[in-house]
Structure 1
Amino acid sequence: MTPLAAIRAIDPALPPREWMAAAFAIARSVGLDDATCASPGEARALMRRMAAAGRADVAFGRILDGHVNAVQLVRRYAPAFAIDALLANGAILGVWNSDLPGDGLRHEGGAFAGAKNFASGAGFVTHPIVTTDANDPAGTRMWLLDMAAADPEIDRDWWHPIGMVRSETHIVHLGGVPLATAHAIGGPGDYQRQPDFSAGALRFVAVQAGAVHALFDHVRDHLNAGNRAAHPQQAHRLARLFVLADAGYALIDGVAAHWTGDDDVLLARVAAARGALEDIATEAMALAQSAVGVQGMLRTHPLARTLTDLTVYLRQPNPDGARSQAGAAAAAGRIEPGA
């Protein structure tokens, strides 16, 4: 059984903590969690791994994105920290940067105060990086938190989305948790240091690209199972889905080729890729729904989870700003098609 098939075969009735543990075990067995990304070739390979995760399950791709991000941050800004030993013990990392409005995370004396929201994996991530003073880019600090030692209050009543339920994205209250339960990562301002901060968005673009491939998978399987793939209109839909899924891979490969080049070009291309993949995914979801019909809206159909998860996961921060950034770079001649 391939890793893709093995992850998809995990019992969907398992609690998210157990489901993710099983998915990570499979991912680790084939190196899907490898965070190496120091050259264009390595960047392409990483983005292909992220896409493979998104193709298997969008929520798993989201959690793997956070894990890889955190591993990269620790290795970049705290090279003396024994991250490999932590990973060998099965740790799942994440990055929680979004503050609870009105009660952002900070440190007062020897303890944390405040809370994080949109904390993906709060039900099972063992070692998240949390940021303090997140609204002050020059002063933001990173802390690798040991969840078992910290034992924070987790508000699970807030997360009731139409998709990405398995990601366990909750509010985490850290008030009173001792700083001693966390390890400082880097210094003030390191978290949002460019180009790594913005270029890292290509990871979620890659997960989205894999999700588009999953739409193609589910539609093809459905049409073949019902002996409907030869119908002219269905064949046209499937052909278009193939083109869209293939374009997603071309998109992330093209950006990865610029990974160690000019920072302005890389960041503009990442911004352009964000908008382009959103457009690709939006068209692909509409085609998939037209091809499968109401059966794809049933929770028991494999298409349903991918549709709802991708609908939620496409909603990333500041999409208009990303398109504006790409447009400005194009107008100034900093990026050129085919270059």
Structure 2
Amino acid sequence: MTTALPSGLASAGLNAGEQELLDRVGQVARACAERADHYDRTARFPADDFDDLFAAGLNAPTVPREHGGLGLGPLSRDTLTLWLVTKELAKADLSLGRCWEGHANALVLVDALGSAEQKRRWFDGVVTRGEKWVGWSGEPQAPKPGEKRRFGTSVVRDDGAWVVTGTKVFATSATGAQWAILLVDTEGPGGARHAPDGRDSLLMLACDLSDPSVSVDDSWWDPIGMRATVSHLVRFDGTRLPDANVIGAPGAYLREGWQTAFIPHYAASFLGAAEAAYEYALKYVIRQDKVADPYVQHRVGSMAVDVESAYLWLRHVATLWDTGKREEARLAGSRARHVVEHLALRTVDNCVRVCGARSLIRPSPVERILRDLTFYVRHDNDDQVLATIGRALLGQEHDASFYKP
């Protein structure tokens, strides 16, 4: 059976321990793939998938080894392995991949900016109890046509605590996570995306989601794809977060450019969706005995080149992070995110053209992959991503985190 990649590409440069880890992830991912259709149809958080990851010792990917985690990610100089884990989970279910990304990225922030006491306290819950984390910033300020409600939070000081009131949307894992890092601005609504770079009023507050002042409104999240991310509207009714839950110095998230470490992580999920579609197409072509069709050959060749190219881009950016070339890695990550979006979309399109309309009828996974990927790549406006790359090359002022003009 033909494989999705030239022999050895995915594992090139990995040591035996990293390869064994990816093999374990692959075993869990196969069970996750069997459940993906159910979670998509019911728009439920993939709880069983995370239970399996915890049981397999995989729930603490970016927690340092000295705290009992796997020690992956840019801080541990093992970035590619983290992204390949994400790719494997997104290949099983892109919604799962997104929830996993949010969990892993939030733990990177705790490791990078948290105090020693915070790390001891919170990493223990992840390692020993399988607690799940996420980061929430979404407070869109411009209403869409016909939209009546407004989104956003207000934050005030009160007797040694920060009190959060208001709403966030696109709150991934809202019904599945135990902890969320809230990116909030003391000067008004908008979260991180709408705050000027370096603004010292942007805070990161760790919120225990079991707090009775936190509630989830699941009526808002009814999208075409990524349904199992349960990215609901979350309401905070005077939620008190003590100073012990403040992560890092005010404004550190923007000043230190942490969003740029997560941008290429999205591309790893895009690649997972593309590889799943490619492998489906290969199996379909062989089963249908279409291997001699020159048009099929053309599209299969295109898919293979596109998937391989995406791998090579991720490997390049991961190497920059792992060798300490952070400034180069920041913009290279945006390049990778832009390129891999288009490679992945083209791969899925070629899969559909090879396999025909039946591939878009449930329970075919391609139907879900097409919806999920089409929705997820909207996570950032690709026109703004590309314009930001151009602005940087032309020596113009640019925002490498959120691509604001």
**Could you state the TM-score of these two structures normalised by the residue count of structure 2?**
0.76
Pairs aligned (count) = 331
SS of equivalent residue, structure 2 residue 204: strand
Displacement of 1:151 in angstroms is 4.9
Deviations 1:242-298 (A, max 9, x none): 111111111100111111444332112111112111221221122111111111221
Q: Does 1:76 align with 2:112?
A: yes
Matched, 1:112 2:148: no
Cα pair 1:149 1:181 within 8 Å, conserved? no
Partner of 2:340: 277
Q: Give yes or no for contact 1:16–1:168 (8 Å, CA) kept in 2.
A: yes
What is residue 43 of structure 1 aligned with on the other side?
A: 79
Distance 2:221 2:151 in 1: 18
The reply to whether residue 31 of structure 1 matches residue 64 of structure 2 is no
How much has 1:25 moved relative to structure 2? 2.7
Distance 1:190 1:209 in 2: 30
Aligned CA RMSD, in angstroms, stands at 2.3
| 1:94 corresponds to 2:121 | no
Distance 1:188 1:249 in 2: 36
Match for 1:55 among 91, 95, 102? 91
Q: What one-letter code is carried by the residue in structure 2 that aligns with 1:48?
A: L
Question: What is the rounded CA distance, in whole Å, between the counterparts of 1:56 and 1:130 in structure 2?
Answer: 28
CA contact (8 A) 1:140 1:189 kept: yes
> Given that residues 278 and 348 in structure 2 are in contact (C-alpha distance below 8 angstroms), is that contact kept between their aligned partners in structure 1?
no
Give the structure 2 partner of residue 335 of structure 1: none
Name the structure 1 match of 2:274: 212
The match for 2:305 is 243
1:29-52 alpha-carbon deviations (Å, 9 max, x no partner): 153751222468501111111211
In the superposition, relative to structure 1, how do residues 30 and 248 fare at CA in structure 2: closer, same or farther (>3 Å)? Answer: farther
Identical positions, percent: 24
The Cα shift of 1:27 comes to: 2.9
**In the alignment, which of 208, 215, 221 is matched to residue 153 of structure 1?**
215
Q: What SS does the aligned partner of 2:181 have?
A: strand
Q: Give the counterpart of 1:327 among 390, 398, 401.
A: 390
**Contact (CA 8 Å) 1:8, 1:56: kept in 2 or not?**
yes
* Structure 2: gaps (5+ residues): 1-25, 63-71, 142-149, 186-190, 396-405
1:75 deviation in Å?
A: 1.5
Distance in 2, matches of 1:180 and 1:149, equals 13
Q: State the Cα distance separating 1:214 from its structure 2 match.
A: 1.0
- How far does residue 307 in structure 1 lie from its aligned partner after superposition? 0.9
Which stretch shifts more, 94-103 or 302-311? 94-103
For 1:148 and 1:130, locate their aligned partners in 2 and report how far apart those are by CA, in whole Å.
14
Mind listing any 5+ residue stretches in structure 1 that lack a counterpart?
Answer: 333-339
Partner SS state of residue 188, structure 1:
coil
1:212 and 1:281 in contact (8 A); partners too: yes
Q: Is this contact kept in 2: 1:105–1:131, CA < 8 A?
A: no
